[in-house]
Amino acid sequence: MKTKFFFYLIIAFSLFYSCTKPMQNKVLIIGIDGCRPDALISASTPNIDKLWKNGAYSFHTKTDDISYSGSCWTGMLTGVWHAKHNVLSNKYLDPNIEEFPHFFNRVKTFNSNLKTYSITHWSPLHTILQNGDADIALDFDSDQKVTNEAVKVLLHNDVDAMFIHLDDVDHSGHSSGFHPENKEYLSTIENTDINVGKMISALKKRDHYLNENWLIIISTDHGGSEKTHGKNTPEHATIFYIVSGKSAAKGKIQTQVNIVDVAVSAMQHLGLDIKDEWNLDGKPIGLIH
Ligand SMILES: [Zn+2]
């Protein structure tokens, strides 16, 4: 009898706790290197489609004028264009990270208890991380390994902000051509969609998922034409931006979206006050509050 009483007491307490505990806002950014938006639309990508159809999106987002990975990813993760972050190629010669740090740095300054993870398939991306910005920064030599690690972390770890980088689509573009009619390129995008699906499904299996408010952002660093990129042309510099989750708006975003909006949207969702003195170029976009 007594055991039964305690059993019900525990159930009642758990229900009370889960109802009163505030939702924890969290961010997952998945960056698919070198993925042209028109090719993403041509490919069969049920997992990514579900995200943009239930969220806010722009397939006419603008990346940095210097459409190399280094310049573009740095723009995405700092919220400023190359004129400020000073990464002008894939060689991170003199990044201005003191003035314009990775957004993880601002997240940690806001609340050092928030857990930040960066898992990539291109190690130079971590050049702009300063000591303490990331709780974990790991680099792997395949998208599969990146995905497996991301799934493991999402299932078992305390995570508040996570950046995932997948590189196979860019490799495919460089070897077979960046084009929406190139079957090999499209097939790599389709395989990448399967990896995205695995990560989203892991996220939904988290122990406290019902008390978490995840913002999922999917984007890319640049497009390409023939077997190259780097120029400020529509094929190279037009990218996509997809934002999904309870706090995401719905439908096509009508205003201009830029790659520098990614970090700022992520920070807004995590509760940071975006300060004018940070001199950011991006703005929060696609969020309802
Ligand atoms: Zn790239």
Query: Residues near 24 by Cβ (< 8 Å), separated by ≥ 6?
Result: 160, 208, 211, 212, 213
For 24-278, CATH gives 3.40.720.10
Query: Residues near 199 by Cβ (< 8 Å), separated by ≥ 6?
Result: 28, 30, 147, 150, 151, 154, 164
Mean pLDDT taken over the chain: 95
Answer for the pair 223, 34: CB distance below 8 angstroms, yes or no: yes
State pLDDT tens for residues 117-158.
999 999 999 999 999 999 999 999 999 999 999 999 999 999
| pLDDT of 264 over the 90 cut | yes
- The reported pLDDT for the residue numbered 209 is 97
State pLDDT tens for residues 245-263.
999 999 999 999 999 999 9
- The reported pLDDT for the residue numbered 22 is 80
pTM exceeding the 0.75 threshold for the entire prediction: yes
Neighbours of ion ligand 1 (CB under 5 A): 33-34, 69, 170, 221
CA of 190 to the centre of ligand 1 (A): 18
**Per-residue confidence band for 214, with pLDDT thresholds at 50, 70 and 90:** very high
Q: Got the DSSP string for 206-224?
A: -TTGGGEEEEEEEE-S---
CA of 238 to the centre of ligand 1 (A): 13
| pLDDT of 167 over the 60 cut | yes
